[in-house]
Amino acid sequence: MDKIKSREVLKEVIDKFRSSKTIVFTNGCFDIIHRGHIEYLIYAKNLGDILVVGVNTDESVRRLKGSGRPLNKLEDRMVVLAALEMVDYVVPFNEDTPYDLISYLRPHVLVKGGDYGLEDVVGRDLVESYGGRVVIAPLFKGYSTSCLIRRMKGG
């Protein structure tokens, strides 16, 4: 899919738009896409012109969430995200946090979900250092992959 890019190719693409468009970045595992993700991505897209979604690789998800995750492999998760109309680009990252990717791409806006406090947002220092802004999106209660997995298991 044309929306899925390596970090190097993506940087070239967004650098062409940097002076005329607002680049918004968010990230996550996006293991099982649910309504909470959709509402969050719509909110993020409305903060600018180009929405870039960083996606943790399978190895990164396992380190963060445990050996039973991800349920869907990286390629599948990226294809699903790329199919969403509000998502402009999808880029994988293997690190536990997107700090290096944020440093490399230099988005104008960094967005995280309402389950984060502003002080906990990885990359906040970077984005604010060059005049960008960090936004905490509203939390859509009752919608999380963990809750969905628990319900699927009958819990």
pLDDT of residue 52: 98
Question: What is the reported pTM?
Answer: 0.91
> Is 2 a domain residue?
no
pLDDT of residue 68: 85
> Is 55 a domain residue?
yes
pLDDT of residue 117: 86
Buried/exposed code over 137-152 (b: 16+ C-beta within 10 A; e: otherwise)? beebeeebbeebeeee
Can you tell me the distance from the alpha carbon of 54 to that of 74, in angstroms, rounded to the nearest whole number?
11
pLDDT of residue 70: 92
H or E element in which residue 131 lies: none
Q: Which residue in the block uniquely carries the two structure tokens 């349920």? A: 71
**pLDDT string in tens for the chain (155-residue length):** 699 999 999 999 999 999 999 999 999 999 989 888 999 999 999 999 999 999 999 999 999 988 888 999 999 999 999 999 999 999 999 999 999 999 999 999 999 988 888 999 999 999 999 999 999 998 776 655 555 555 556 65
pLDDT of residue 72: 95
pLDDT of residue 114: 80
Can you tell me the distance from the alpha carbon of 107 to that of 24, in angstroms, rounded to the nearest whole number?
6
> Is 1 a domain residue?
no
> Is 97 a domain residue?
yes
> Is 62 a domain residue?
yes
Please count the structural domains in the chain.
Answer: 1
Can you tell me the distance from the alpha carbon of 45 to that of 65, in angstroms, rounded to the nearest whole number?
26
> Is 92 a domain residue?
yes
> Is 72 a domain residue?
yes
Task: Provide the CATH number for the domain around residue 71.
Answer: 3.40.50.620
Range of the domain at 38: 7-152
- Compute the residue count for the chain: 155
> Is 63 a domain residue?
yes
